[in-house]
Amino acid sequence: MRTRRYFLKTVMLGAAASSFPGCPPASAPARPTEPEAPHPLGKNLGSERFEPCHAVRDGGTWASAPVTATCDVAVIGGGPSGMTAAWRLRERDVMLLEKEPRLGGSCLLDEWQGVKMSTGGAFYTETETALVGLLKELGVEGTRVKGADSLVIGGQPVTDFFRDGADRLPFPQRVRDDFKRSRDEMLKLYRTRPKEELDAQRFSDLLKPYAPELTQFWNRFGPSNWGGGASETSGYVGAEAYSWAGDSEDPRRTFPGGLGGAAEALAAKLTPKLGSRVKTQVSVYRVETEGTGAKAKVVVRYLENGEPKALRAGAVILAVPKYFARHVLTGLDPARAELLKATRYAPYPVFNVCLKSAGPEPAYDNWFLDEPFTDFISADWIVHAGRGPAERKTALTVYHPLPEAQRVLLLADEAVLAMADGVAAGLEKHFPGTLEKIEEIRIFRRGHPMFIPTPGHLKVVERVAAPVGPVFFAHSDSSYFPAFVSAVEAAETAVGQASKRLGFSR
C-alpha cells in the first residue's frame, strides 16, 4: 500500500527534476513514477467540454438542418456576459444557447461536504458599478473581503506588502523600499498619464527602474488575474492593478466560494423567466447571415443531442471568446478574422484542495514566488476571515495558470494529476502538516477562460468588438480587462446595439 510518505518521496523529487516545477514539458506528458502508480489526492478531474469547440476548430462538418425555430435575438454563450444579455432581453423573444450542462462560464461553483469552492472568478470591487448595479437588481450583494493579502516567502506570510508590510519582507532594504515606491509611482502614472499612452507600453518596461523582485511578483500576479506576465501585459492594466492588488484602495467583495455565487444568482433569476428558451449542452457550429442590410437575418446552426438543428434570429449576440467566434461566424473579412485570431488566452486549471480540518489561512489571497501555482484563496474566508473552528472541513482554492504553449497539457489527465501532486507538495513545503489534512483535490480545467490584455489592446478592442451586420459581440474580451464586470459591460453594449437594430425601446 502506497502512503503519503511515498507520495512525498516520488512527487517532490520528480517535481524538482521537471523543467516546469510540478508540470511536465508539453512534449512529454507526465507519467506515473511507477506503472499504475495511484494518485491518492487528485480524485475529481473535471473540465469544460473541450470536444465541441475542438471539432469546430478542426473544420468539422455536419448536415444542414432545416430551420425549426425563430426568435428575435439568439444569445450564444451562457457565461456572465451571455446571461446578462439574456436578462436584459428577458421580456423579448430571446433564446440562450450554452454548450455546458449549466450556466456560469468561468464563474462556476463546486461544493465538497458543504464547503463552497470557486473553479474560476474570485471577487469584484466596489467601484465596478455595472456589476454592483446588476447584483442589487438581482437582490444579492457580496460580503466585503476582510484584511490584506499575503506574500508567502519560505513559509512566512507577509501582509500589506506594498505599504508598511514591505518592511517585513525577507529582502534587502532596496527591494523593500521598491515595493513601496513602485506602488506610489505606478498609481501616479495611472492617474496622470493618458491611458492609450500607458497601454502602448509593456508593463515590464514600466517596472525596469525597480528591483527585479517586483517583476518576479507581477509575473505571478498577472497570470493569475489576467493571464499574462509583465512582458505580455499592457502598461495601463499593470499600473491600474496597483489600486487593488495586495491591500486594496478599492474594497473587494465576494460570495462564499467566489464569484460563482453571483453567476448562480443571475442564473436562478434568468432560468425560470426564459424556461425552455434556455438550451444547455448544445454546440453551436455555424452562424450564417442571410440577406443584406437592415433586412438581414441570422441562421444559427447547432447540435442538440448530436442532431443538427437550426434557428433563425433577427440578431445574434456572440457572448463567447473571440477565438471561437471567428470559427463559427461565416463571411468574416480576412482583416477582421486576423484581429479575432490575435486575441490571446491563458490555459487555466484550478485545484480545490479539500481539507478535513482547517489548513493555512494567513490571508484571503496568498501569493508565492517559487511554486508552479501562483496563489491560493481560503474558500471560506468570506465566512470566517481565518478565524473559524479549527476542526471544520474547508478547502484551499489554488490557482495554477499555465503558459500558452502548455495548453495541450490540459488534455493529458496524467499531466494534470501530476500538477495536483505538485500543488500538495508546494503547500506542504511552505506549511508543514498540510498534506496530512488533505482528503482530496478537485480539479477543473479551462482552455481559454481569460484573454490576455497585451500591450496595445486598447487601440484595437473597439475593432475587435465591432458588430458584423446583425451579429453583435459580448464577452469580457470585448473590453480591456478580463473580469465579470467587463462581461456585464460588454453585454450591455451588445444589447443596446441589437435593440437599436431591431427597433426595441429600452
Same domain, 446 and 327: no
Q: Which backbone phi and psi does 419 adopt, to 5 degrees?
A: -60, -40
Domain assignment of residue 251, yes or no: no
Both 140 and 42 in a single domain? yes
- Within 13 Å and on the Cβ side, how many CA atoms surround 326? 16
User: Do 213 and 236 sit in the same domain of this protein?
Assistant: yes
Tell me the C-alpha distance between 358 and 281, whole Å. Answer: 37
475 inside domain: yes
Q: Do 214 and 313 share a structural domain?
A: no
Which of helix, strand or coil describes residue 468? strand
- 86: exposed, middle or buried (Cβ count in 10 Å: 0-12, 13-18, 19+): buried
Domain that includes residue 229, residue range = 170-245
Residue 404 lies in a domain: yes
Please, what's the b/e burial string for 314-325 (b: 16 or more CB within 10 A of its CB; e: otherwise)?
Answer: bbbbbbbbbbbb
Q: Are 110 and 124 in contact (CB under 8 A)?
A: no
Q: Over the stretch 376-409, which tens digit does the pLDDT of each residue have?
A: 999 999 999 999 999 999 999 999 999 999 999 9
DSSP labels, 276-328: GGEEESEEEEEEEEESSGGG-EEEEEEEETTEEEEEEEEEEEE-S-HHHHHHH
CATH number at residue 277: 3.50.50.60
Looking at the structure, do residues 396 and 336 belong to the same domain, yes or no? no
Tell me, yes or no, whether 125 and 25 share the same domain: yes
Q: Which pLDDT tens digits describe the chain residue by residue (506 residues)?
A: 223 332 333 333 233 323 322 333 333 333 333 334 445 677 788 888 888 888 888 888 888 899 999 999 999 999 999 999 999 999 999 999 999 999 999 999 999 999 999 999 999 999 999 999 999 999 999 999 999 999 999 999 999 999 999 999 999 999 999 999 999 999 999 999 999 999 999 999 999 999 999 999 999 999 999 999 999 999 999 999 999 887 667 889 999 999 999 999 999 999 999 999 999 999 999 999 999 998 999 999 999 999 999 999 999 999 999 999 999 999 899 999 999 999 999 999 999 999 999 999 999 999 999 999 999 999 999 999 999 999 999 999 999 999 999 999 999 999 999 999 999 999 999 999 999 999 999 999 999 999 999 999 999 999 999 999 999 999 999 999 999 999 999 999 999 999 999 999 76
Whether 161 is covered by a domain: the verdict is no
Check residue 186 and give left, alpha or beta (phi > 0: left; psi -120 to 50: alpha). Answer: alpha
163 domain residue, yes or no: no
| 122-146: b (≥16 Cβ within 10 Å) or e | bbbbeebebbbebbeeeebebeebe
Cell numbers that stand for 56 in this block: 469546430
CA separation for the pair 111, 122 (Å, rounded): 15
The Cβ-side half-sphere exposure at 80, using a 13 Å CA radius, reads 28
User: Do 13 and 93 fall within a single domain?
Assistant: no
pTM of the model: 0.90
Residue 368 included in any domain? yes
Whether residue 471 sits in one domain with residue 445: no
pLDDT in tens, 139-174: 999 999 999 999 999 999 999 999 999 999 999 999
Q: Of all residues in the chain, what percent carry a pLDDT higher than 70?
A: 92
76 and 206 part of one domain: no
Say how many domains are in the chain: 3
User: Does 24 share its domain with 78?
Assistant: no
Identify the CATH number of the domain in which residue 417 sits. Answer: 3.90.660
Are 224 and 200 in contact by the 8 Å Cβ rule? The answer is no
